[in-house]
A and B are shown apart, each in its own frame.
Chain A
């Protein structure tokens, strides 16, 4: 079986307006040195999927900057590699084909050219709001074994977890794992199985189902392609059991980040055998812990210079923490400068934020205090 990938970089942007004001969901910084798209891309590359189309819609400058020619994911290739798929808008064309798409289904219709020209027999679809490290090889094997048209990758998450919101799709399957229904989350307790929005689709089926749905005037991929065809098509699920988190609000972004301060969670996400998470190389110097600093329970990327106290926090590359500063439960993105004698608690600073000397900022884990990109406080 051969597979090509398709990544939707914008689809859930509206869920975290703070972080997506000037970037795509795909390029939201995460865990000190990554962007959310790194998880989907690494998972594909590690599973041998080396032709990846990235569907972009708007705000994609930061994404293009992050991806470059794809070399950091080993995707700078003459055959395959990264293919950026921006909206193809034809000037003076008033038909639907020339319009900016708004749904997943329309986006797929918009990149039909890419799908048509793939010699691969399977397309792996992924969104960028999920943080996981899926080995797609066994999923592909199951997809082939069951002769499925669609295989949905599912994850079991504890009810009440942020990954489940009112839009969560809960697949209902028979004993063979074949999909019989997709129900909205109805307040179940215990563990809930949800769709990860990572799915494998037989390429010819995808093509035919999307075109058919569009010609019927349907708008939703999940409702009109997956759910409507659940009886005619062979749709199966595959349970993924590694680290899984979904970013659908600033609070869930905060909690997903903080989960990584736990050793076992880091092992589940980052240290799966032969499945490293790749990201853009920045060539930062190592982090320097200056005499007098106190750092505990924190995840720290390279290039930081720490003089103050940092507890239970995540520091991205190039963060500076001044003398006498106390940073607790905070996420400080790339090149944030924290002045001397400041106090930060439950704060998320976006890139290049500057906290002047002596400032005190405090949020709560359910409502983290967010400081916008490049802002000076």
Chain B
């Protein structure tokens, strides 16, 4: 017998993350390493757990291997439950045919049986590519109190950036009166965070209607929200203040990593009450060598630092040999930086070898852009990788 769950979360993790292509060639975006010992999805999963939501469907489609393996039974997040817990929901073959997820709404539509199984009254729709810490329980309480059909979390953005977001125009009670996707002339600064709570019956009705509409792109932002609004459903904005970042571009991913540094980090990770839970290797403590220089850095287990590390975020098992310099860089893990090598203003994926005296990127102030090196690439001794270059192993990709 299945016990009822008041609210289940549906986490959209199928995006390709094409703007991060060198990093997402082999990995779905939610499984990209962040902040040294996390994956992007850890933030949403931890938020769910800390908000008391213990049933999470993770909708995967693109390159799911790393993500599936990472989530596993859900043990690191205490989501290995007898009832509920985390479930990977890939596209499947049904009696009437098989289909990929055609859009965010279609992904949820195809998994309505999952929501029905738990007889959930509310559905929390999340995306797996945002970095933030948020108590969904408070948002759910607001949703219940307002009696809305849908509540959308919004964050204030500067007016000059508003045209990059889906903008909600609200009345003084926070009821949404207008929604414009990436408006040229925004009339509000409340940007949608891609976090929705729906009352289940209403959601089911609109998803079913959307599924048979041939003109629909089956997307929440483009179709479901505008249709519901046009039909006069009560839709509320839930204002959120705090750190929130869409890490969909190399620049924003780099910046979000840098936000964990400093004396008072913009993105604090040291809250014992709201720990970001993750699956990680069992590596020994980091070792900082006798001649090492470490200034303003975040370093994790298994690292051996013999050279200089400045303004950088290092993942597990990074070795920085004597005389090497790592500056303004994100090294995701299992990285080797040989003696005398220089890495500046760069994002380096897992398993990269930068041999002795190689040069990657230029100082941040002079560089044309962030240098990106994809998984498993080896930069030969003495070689130079230009500033702003994006290097990844295409051959290996094509061979697949």
Contacts and interface: CB of A to CB of B under 8 A. Distances in A.
A263 B306 CA distance: 11
Contacts of A300: 285-288, 299
A298 B270 contact: no
Interface in B285-333: 285-292, 294-301, 304, 313-314
A290 B284 contact: no
Contact of B35 (A71, A286, A301, A315): A286
Nearest to A312: B290
B289 A296 contact: yes
Given A283-B275, A285-B276, A290 B285 contact: no
B286 A278 contact: no
Given A289-B298, A315-B285, 9 more contacts: A31-B284, A72-B282, A285-B276, A286-B313, A297-B288, A299-B284, A300-B287, A300-B299, A301-B301
Contacts of A315: 285
Contact of A287 (B283, B295, B299): B299
Interface string A300-317: 111101010000001100
Bin the interface of chain A by size: 35 or more
A291 B284 contact: no
Contacts of A263: 287, 304
Contacts of B285: 31-33, 299-302, 314-315
Interface of A: 31-33, 71-72, 261, 263, 266, 270-271, 276-279, 281, 283-291, 293, 295-303, 305, 307, 314-315
A81 B289 CA distance: 38
Interface string B140-152: 0000000000000
Nearest to B313: A286
Nearest to B77: A283
Interface of B is mostly: loop
B130 interface: no
B369 interface: no
A295 B292 CA distance: 8
Contacts of A286: 35-37, 260, 269, 298-300, 313-314
B288 A298 contact: yes
B295 A288 contact: no
Nearest to A299: B285
B301 A302 contact: yes
A285 B304 CA distance: 18
A288 B265 contact: yes
B213 to A, nearest CB: 44
15 contacts: A31-B285, A33-B301, A71-B75, A266-B284, A277-B282, A279-B282, A285-B269, A285-B275, A288-B297, A289-B296, A291-B295, A295-B288, A295-B292, A296-B288, A301-B286
B278 interface: yes
B280 interface: yes
Contacts of B363: none
B282 A290 contact: no
Interface of A is mostly: loop
A122 B278 CA distance: 37
Contacts of B107: none
A293 B295 contact: yes
Nearest to B312: A289
Contacts of A33: 284-285, 301
Contact of A283 (B276, B286, B292): B276
Best-buried of B36, B75, B282, B283 by chain A (most CB within 10 Å): B282
Contacts of A307: 263
B12 interface: no
B295 A303 contact: no
A117 B353 CA distance: 51
Nearest to B302: A270
B289 A277 contact: no
A208 B35 CA distance: 56
Nearest to B298: A286
Contacts of B262: 290-291
Contacts of A305: 270
A288 B260 contact: yes
A45 to B, nearest CB: 11
A290 B298 CA distance: 9
Contact of B261 (A72, A277, A279, A288): A288
Interface in B254-282: 260-263, 265, 269-270, 275-278, 280-282
Contacts of B270: 285, 288, 303, 305
A297 B269 contact: no
A297 B290 contact: yes
A104 B292 CA distance: 47
A281 B322 CA distance: 31
Nearest to B75: A71
A263 B304 CA distance: 9
A271 B285 CA distance: 12
A287 B278 contact: no
A315 B301 CA distance: 12
Contact of A291 (B35, B292, B296, B313): B296
